[in-house]
Amino acid sequence: MLHVPPPVGTLSPDLSSILRKRTEHTLVTIIKRNKDTRYFSESPVFSDFHRALETIELKEGGDREVRDDILLENYSNIPLTTYDTCEPFVNKFFEDRCRDNDVRDIFSPGLPYHISVSSATSHGKPKFIPKYRQPDSPPIRWPSGAGKMCFVFSLHPHKVIDVQNEDGDTIENISVGLNSSGMMREALGLDIDKDHLNIKLAGTCHSTGFSSSKPLS
């Protein structure tokens, strides 16, 4: 019988140091990646954080990028937020004509791959969370083992947003639907604008020890 060790109550000093460094590196990476986005630049939520950094930049002559440790020290100036602070920016995706210039770089560089719809509602309406492709995200690890596992899921979107350029031409399609739908589409490379080709694929895909049914509607 496989012996399962008891859970660890505390980490050793070495492991605590490693965890802290990884956490701080991840946080700084996120801040630097998104520091030029519309939400970070325009939302009043970040005003205290901006003021703190501007004060530091003035003291240092304003000709150097703020150091990582200073970013971390001043991160506490950002308060806990609610969906209400994001909603005005999210709503830009659902205007009558979704313009590329209005929605690009809102929460992260570029355009979202998918917009997730929450299962719970607030004030009688769902929340919409844009999901972006992240260059350093690890790939999804499929379950593996002696047998086969079957996951059944729908990739049918609730809505498809057509992002247009200034000439009114559609330059990108963004699906709106379940988060699991968006994750599976990204993992399997089933982009919404290629569904006319995806529908011709076989009904199952196989990985090591994994079998999945993937209906497209």
Region class of 45: left (phi > 0), else alpha (psi between -120 and 50), else beta: alpha
Q: For residue 4, tell me if it sits in a domain.
A: no
Q: 70 lies in a domain?
A: yes
Q: What is the pLDDT along the chain (217 residues), one digit of tens a residue?
A: 678 888 888 889 999 999 999 999 999 999 989 988 999 999 999 999 988 888 877 666 655 677 888 888 888 889 998 899 999 999 999 999 999 999 999 999 999 999 999 876 666 788 999 999 887 776 666 666 666 767 667 788 999 999 999 999 999 999 999 998 898 888 888 899 888 887 766 554 444 333 333 444 3
Residue where the block lists tokens 């004030």: 123
What are the residues whose beta carbons fall under 8 Å from the beta carbon of 180, sequence distance 6 or more?
153
Q: DSSP class of residue 110?
A: S
Is 47 part of a structural domain of the chain? yes
Residue in 198, 195, 207 with CA at minimum distance from that of residue 151: 207
DSSP 136: T
Q: What is the gyration radius of the CA atoms in the chain, in angstroms?
A: 22
What amino acid occupies position 165?
N
For residue 56, tell me if it sits in a domain.
yes
φ and ψ at residue 39, rounded to 5 degrees: -60, -45
CA distance 189 to 50: 38
Count the domains in the chain: 1
Distant-in-sequence, close-in-space partners of 211: CB < 8 Å, separation ≥ 6:
148, 149, 150, 204, 205
On whether residue 171 sits in a domain, the answer given is no
Instruction: Quote the pLDDT of residue 161.
Output: 96
Whole-angstrom distance, CA of residue 147 vs CA of residue 16: 37
Q: Could you tell me the residue range of the domain that residue 55 belongs to? A: 11-81
**What pLDDT does residue 44 have?**
93
Query: 13 phi and psi, to 5 degrees?
Result: -55, -40
24-51 burial code (b ≥16 CB/10 A, e <16): eeeebeebeebeebebbeeeebbeebbe
Q: Is residue 51 part of a domain?
A: yes
Domain contains 118: no
Residue 28 lies in a domain: yes
